[in-house]
Amino acid sequence: MAKLWEAGTSGEALDKDVELFLSSLAVDSRLLQEDLECSIAHSRMLGKTGILPPEESAAITAALEAMLKEAAEGKLAVDADSEDVHSFIEAELVRRLGEAGKAVHAGRSRNDQVAVAFRLHMKRACKNTAFDVLDAIEAILSVAKNHTETLMPGYTHLQRAQPVTLAHHLLAWCAALERDYSRFIDNMNRLDESPLGSGALAGSGLPTDREYTADLLGFARPSRNTMDAVADRDACIDYASAGASLMVHLSRFCEDIALWVSTEYSFMKLTGRASTGSSIMPQKRNPDPAELIRGKAGRVFGNLQALLVMQKGLPYAYNRDLQEDKELFFEIEDTLHGSLKAFAVLVTSLVPDAARMEDALKDGYLEATDVAEFLVLKGIPFRTAYNAAKELVQICARKGKRLREIDQSDLAEAHQVFAECAVAPDLLTDYLTPTACVARRKQTGGPAPEKTRAEIARLESFIAAQRKA
Ligand code: ARG
């Protein structure tokens, strides 16, 4: 296996099993292009500072650029015997340039090399994931738009609670995803520092220029401390943590969907784009993507945990433990991408059954709070109004009728405040239609159609602005 370092003083070769165990090539060859970009910046810096003669720096830069082009075209075969992608790049450079290629590693170490290539990757990953989140929000909005007046029960404790609309429920998901989006963007901005030039831990005795390489690579600045730069994997934990929050959200949305498409709810159906059949039960349509997204959440939480434990108690600065970071990160990155893509399809494959959802508002006395609020508007203290409404619900339950079917005698039986306020049954029942209940809930964030329509418009322009920025 191509290695950058010499055998130990005893002259013994590294044990084959240990060598295989230590190798990270299978994982970090994913950083091939990023490392080449960073190596090019480093090589240019070596020329600019005079550490290397300009023609030597130019030759190395040109060879690395050729490798980058080949890598982008999928034509650069990574030598499977290399210890890691960083060793491969130097070995390949030497293979191409001979002695001249050996100059590239002046002023850097694999510790800052891996840190900078990984950071460049994470910076892009934050952006890509953030944009996948925007796509998911957009998919939800495309459904919500058509359902600002589609009534359905809102639940607490999985008990029917109050009437809402499907758009309002879907906008609750969007609110969570908007936070997820901002977490990935915050992380991207926070990690925007270049570790390159930090060397093994103490920088370099050569007159390297870290500002220059940071600038070439599009980082906002060099990292503040060379030991921190090679020891730190906070950005990786931040991404994993944002990913964990995102997966919590997606798995909750998916649970909602699984309930909605169940026979028991039958609020919606899923088209064939996002549901599968059973190999034995011909009648079934299963919401498999929803279930698998829910199932994938654990993988992301687990990798976050592994990343935290990987760093806990590590003495400064670099330790080989840190090599575990990339495999854990890539798995999270791929899981988030796959889950978000599938979720966008899933949500746009929902076919809501508006009549069935409205039907679910008939039983369960979801307008009981509104009975109390009707009395509050007549000057009755809320607790008294609450008790009167509760009595009325109990009477209706006893008589097997709905709140919207009450008459004068029910009111009289329930509580004296109804008489005191001269409540006319038909005025009250008009007040209690689900449409009326939803329409008057027009405070910020409420389910009133005018509010959800405004919120959809706000989110649409937010997404457009973010894509432009
Ligand atoms: N493959 C290693 C990693 O991913 C590269 C750094 C090796 N540095 C070292 N001092 N052994 O962490």
Residue 142: how many CA atoms within 13 Å on its side-chain side? 14
Between the CA of 326 and the centroid of ligand 1 the distance, in Å, is 11
Per residue in 211-256, pLDDT tens?
999 999 999 999 999 999 999 999 999 999 999 999 999 999 999 9
Does the pLDDT value for residue 6 go beyond 70? no
Q: Residue 17 gets which letter from DSSP?
A: H
DSSP H helices in 98-223: 110-144, 166-190, 210-216
Q: d(Cα 283, Cα 265) in Å, to the nearest integer?
A: 17
**What does the alpha-carbon distance between residue 357 and residue 354 come to, in Å, rounded to a whole number?**
5
- Residue 2 has a pLDDT of 58
Q: Are residues 292 and 441 in the same domain?
A: no
- Could you tell me the CATH number of the domain that includes residue 72? 1.10.275.10
Residues 134 and 281 in one domain: yes
Output DSSP code: residue 286: B
**Is 127 a domain residue?**
yes
Q: Are 141 and 206 in contact (CB under 8 A)?
A: no
- CATH code of the domain containing 277: 1.20.200.10
Q: In the predicted model, is pLDDT for residue 49 greater than 70?
A: yes
Residue 77 CB-density burial (10 A; 0-12 exposed, 13-18 middle, 19+ buried): exposed
For 136-140, 196-200, 279-283, 341-345, which range has the lowest pLDDT when averaged over its residues? 279-283
Specify whether 102 is located in the same domain as 115: no
Q: Residue 442 belongs to a domain with what CATH number?
A: 1.10.40.30
Phi-psi region of 78 (alpha: psi -120 to 50; beta: other; left: phi over 0): beta
Angle at which helices 85-97 and 54-72 cross, to 10°: 120
pLDDT average, residue stretch 43-67: 98
Is 238 domain-assigned? yes
Identify whether 53 is part of a domain: yes
How many structural domains compose the chain?
3
Our answer on whether the CB atom of 267 is closer than 6 Å to any ligand 1 atom is no
455 Cβ contact partners less than 8 Å away, ≥ 6 residues apart: 171, 174, 445
Q: For a ligand 1 pocket test, name from 82, 114, 311 the mutation site with the most ligand atoms within 8 angstroms of its C-beta.
A: 114
Q: For the chain, give me the number of helices (H) and strands (E)?
A: 20, 6
Decide if pLDDT at 108 tops 80.
yes
Q: What percent of the chain has pLDDT over 90?
A: 92
Which of helix, strand or coil describes residue 268? strand
- Within 10 A of 281 (CB to CB), how many other CB atoms are there? 8
pLDDT of residue 275: 84
Q: Give the pLDDT confidence score for residue 295 in this predicted structure.
A: 97
Q: Let me know how long the chain is.
A: 469
Instruction: Report the pLDDT value the prediction gives residue 7, as an integer from 0 to 100.
Output: 63
Classify residue 443: in a domain, yes or no.
Answer: yes
| Whether residues 170 and 290 fall in one domain | yes
Q: Please tell me whether residues 102 and 135 are part of one structural domain.
A: no
Q: By CB neighbour count within 10 A (0-12 exposed, 13-18 middle, 19+ buried), where does 451 fall? A: buried
Residues 184 and 300 placed together within one structural domain of the fold: yes
Looking at the DSSP bridge assignments, the partners of residue 159 are: 156
What is the Cα gyration radius of the chain? 31
pTM for this prediction: 0.94
Residues 135 and 100 occupy one common structural domain: no
**Do 272 and 402 belong to one domain?**
no
Same domain for 326 and 185: yes
322 in ligand 1 pocket by Cβ < 6 Å?
yes
Say what the pLDDT of residue 279 is: 79
Domain encompassing residue 395: 368-453
pLDDT the model gives residue 276: 85
Q: Is 157 annotated in the active site? A: yes
Indicate the pLDDT class of residue 80, thresholds 50, 70 and 90: confident
CA of 196 from ligand 1 middle (Å) equals 14
Residue 60 placed within a domain: yes
Mean local confidence (pLDDT), 364-383: 96
- Identify whether residues 391 and 338 lie together within a single domain: no
Catalytic residue (choose from 57, 82, 142, 157): 157
For residue 389, give Cα distances in angstroms to 154, 161, 380, 403, 415.
Answer: 19, 15, 12, 10, 8
Poorest-pLDDT segment among 200-209, 242-251, 277-286, 345-354: 277-286
Nearest residue (by CA) to ligand 1, atom 2, is 323
Q: How many Å apart are CA 217 and CA 113, to the nearest integer?
A: 13
Q: Encode pLDDT of 272-310 as tens digits.
A: 898 888 777 878 789 999 999 999 999 999 999 999 999
Residue type, 210: R
Average pLDDT value over all residues in the chain: 95
For residue 281, the model assigns a pLDDT of 80
Cis preceding linkage at 106, omega within 30: no
**pLDDT tens digits, one per residue of 402-450:** 999 999 999 999 999 999 999 999 999 999 999 999 999 999 999 999 9
Residue where a domain terminates, one of 299, 327, 355: 355
Q: Does ligand 1 lie within 6 Å of residue 84's CB atom?
A: yes
User: Is 378 found in the same domain as 318?
Assistant: no
Q: Using alpha carbons, list the distances in angstroms from residue 357 to 145, 167, 352, 369.
A: 17, 13, 8, 20
278 labelled catalytic: yes
Ligand 1 within 6 A of CB of 194: no
Check pocket membership of 39 for ligand 1, CB cut-off 6 A.
Answer: no
22 and 137 co-located in one domain: no
Cβ atoms of 306 and 257 within 8 Å: the answer is: no
Extended beta strands in 45-181, E state? 151-156, 159-165
Tell me the C-alpha to C-alpha distance, in Å, between residue 367 and each of 45, 429, 430.
71, 10, 11
